[in-house]
Amino acid sequence: MNKPEPVKSFSEAELVLSDFLNHYATKKNQSPYHMDRLHALLGFLGVQHSKSLPTVDQKHSHYKKDVAHLKMVDVYRVLDLFKVTNQAVGHAIKKLLVPGMRGGGKNLEQDYREAVDSINRALQMIAEDDVDRE
């Protein structure tokens, strides 16, 4: 495959970026051609970069979980996938995922306050466990 020509205009840059994003949305991988086009785009924009950009799978991989085998993901699946075992932390995460939107008359601020209360309880439990170990 020939090396792509340098990007020479903003309209071409827009097309390259659109093509690159469409490729990722459908193929979920990084072809050498699309990576070369991305590097040409970055060069045109004056962005300093390394030829060895991290792949989508490598960058922040600890925040990503494969859920292709699932039809849907709820908060309990998220907690399970990320190995959240502390119930107080899990309760805070649940509050923070949909603050003020679950009904029951609790608004955004109330959900944030309850999430903080849950995290504070988790911290208290850590302190209690540390005292028990002494």
pLDDT digits (tens, 9 = 90+) for 40-72: 666 666 655 555 555 555 666 777 888 889 898
pLDDT of residue 89: 93
70-116 pLDDT, tens digit each: 898 999 999 999 999 999 999 999 999 888 887 777 788 888 999 99
Q: Where are the domains of the chain?
A: 10-60, 75-133
> Does residue 34 register a pLDDT over 80?
no
Mean pLDDT value of segment 24-41 = 62
pLDDT of residue 61: 74
Mention every residue, 6+ apart, whose C-beta is less than 8 A from residue 35.
53
The H or E element spanning position 51 is none
pLDDT of residue 86: 94
pLDDT of residue 108: 86
Mean pLDDT value of segment 4-33 = 64
CB-CB contact of 91 with 117 (8 Å): no
Q: How far is CA 109 from the centre of its chain?
A: 24
Residue recorded with tokens 């309850």 = 114
pLDDT of residue 99: 85
